Amino acid sequence: MLSEVAGALGAFADLPLAFQLPFVGLFAGLVGSFLNVCIWRIPRGESIVFPRSHCPNCNHVLEVPDLVPVLSYVFLRGRCRHCGTPFSPRYMLVELTLVCIWCAALAWFGLSWAFATCAVGSAVLLGTAGVAQMSRSMRRGAGGFTFMEILLAMTLFAIFISPFLNVLRTGWMGASKNREYLIAYNLAREHLEELRVMPARNLRSDWEIFVHGKRLTDNIFLDEFGPLARWGQNEKVFYENFSDVLTEVSQLPESVQAKFERNYKRFYGRDYKLYPREYDGFRRVTRIKDVTDPSTPGLALQKVTVTVTINTKLTHHRSLEVSTIVSDRGL
Ligand SMILES: [Zn+2]
Residue spans per domain, the chain = 18-143, 179-327
* CA–centroid distance, residue 119 to ligand 1 (Å): 32
Asked whether residue 223 carries a pLDDT value surpassing 70, the answer given is no
Report the length, in residues, of the chain. Answer: 331
51 class by beta-carbon count within 10 Å (0-12 exposed, 13-18 middle, 19+ buried): exposed
Nearest to 94 by CA among 166, 150, 167: 150
Torsion of CA 23, 26, 32, 34, to 10 degrees: -100
* CA–centroid distance, residue 53 to ligand 1 (Å): 11
* CA–centroid distance, residue 22 to ligand 1 (Å): 30
Asked whether residue 37 carries a pLDDT value surpassing 60, the answer given is yes
> 189 and 181 in contact (C-beta within 8 Å)?
no
The reported pLDDT for the residue numbered 331 is 43
* CA–centroid distance, residue 41 to ligand 1 (Å): 18
Give the pLDDT mean for 127-146. Answer: 75
* CA–centroid distance, residue 248 to ligand 1 (Å): 70
pLDDT confidence band for 330 (50 / 70 / 90): very low
* CA–centroid distance, residue 88 to ligand 1 (Å): 13
* CA–centroid distance, residue 57 to ligand 1 (Å): 5
The most confident of 52-61, 112-121, 200-209, 300-309, by mean pLDDT: 300-309
